[in-house]
Amino acid sequence: MDTSAPILIIEDDRNIADLVRRYLERAGYESLVAHDGAEGLAMAQSHKPRFVILDVMLPGMDGWEVCRALRKVSEIPILILTARAEEMDRVVGLSIGADDYVVKPFSPRELVERVKAILRRAGPAAANPTSVMEHNGLMVDVEKRRVTVDGTLVALTPSEFTLLEALMTSPGRVYTRADLLNRLYAGGESVVDRVVDVHIGKLRRKIETESSRPRYIETVHGIGYRFADSDIAP
């Protein structure tokens, strides 16, 4: 990821866009602003931002459409910022590729902290002796943030990579949904448990041959998830 690239704010309310921009710039991030979906998508394609903050209720092309379009070509971190507070809206946003979901009215300081947390997950990890993990055709290079399945490169969002790394680091260990939420939101942000299920479902569709019969990530009913505990080669 280009750490010098700007953060793109796609928000039609100019007051909110300016508020977010000012708080981001106080935190040291360069930012760009677009006020409708089509303009935002065009700016994402031309400026290659490091992060997108995306409103849902945009004129013309709405935020859902923008998110889907971005996910077809990029795994750039996306945070949905919207007044739509229903749990199903959160699930929809995450299921189409968003990394986080913040409801208006919101705390600008909390928003910046969430951006920082997602960028940390998306950034390079420190090198260590077990930075490459393999299991049954799945290889995860933690330092390079590279995932392959049977030699084919798989693009993961920061949240998906964080979950896979956590599970694969401790094969056989059962992680509760709360454990995994803490990995995703170390700052203690309030989110629903279903966030984990949505991310795991997306992750399985990318790395499993049959997501309904997973060979890597196993469900522990009523508790959470674990990584298959045999034939691990760190």
Determine whether domain 132-227 maps to CATH 1.10.3720.10: no
Would you state the pLDDT for residue 188?
Answer: 52
DSSP letter at 127?
P
Burial of 43-71, coded b for 16+ CB within 10 Å and e otherwise, reads bbeeeebbbbbbbbebeebebbbbbebbb
Conformation bin of residue 151: beta by default, left when phi > 0, alpha when psi is -120 to 50 = left
Does 73 score more than 50 pLDDT?
yes
Class of domain 7-122: alpha beta
Give Cβ neighbours of residue 231 (< 8 Å, ≥ 6 apart). Answer: 135, 136
pLDDT band at 124 (very low <50, low <70, confident <90, very high): low
Helix (H, G, I), strand (E, B) or coil at 133: strand
List every span in the chain annotated with CATH 3.40.50.2300: 7-122
List every span in the chain annotated with CATH 1.10.10.10: 132-227
Does 125 score more than 70 pLDDT?
no
Cβ neighbours, 10 Å, residue 117: 19
- Which residues make beta-bridge pairs with 31? 7
Taking the complete model, does pTM exceed 0.75, yes or no?
no
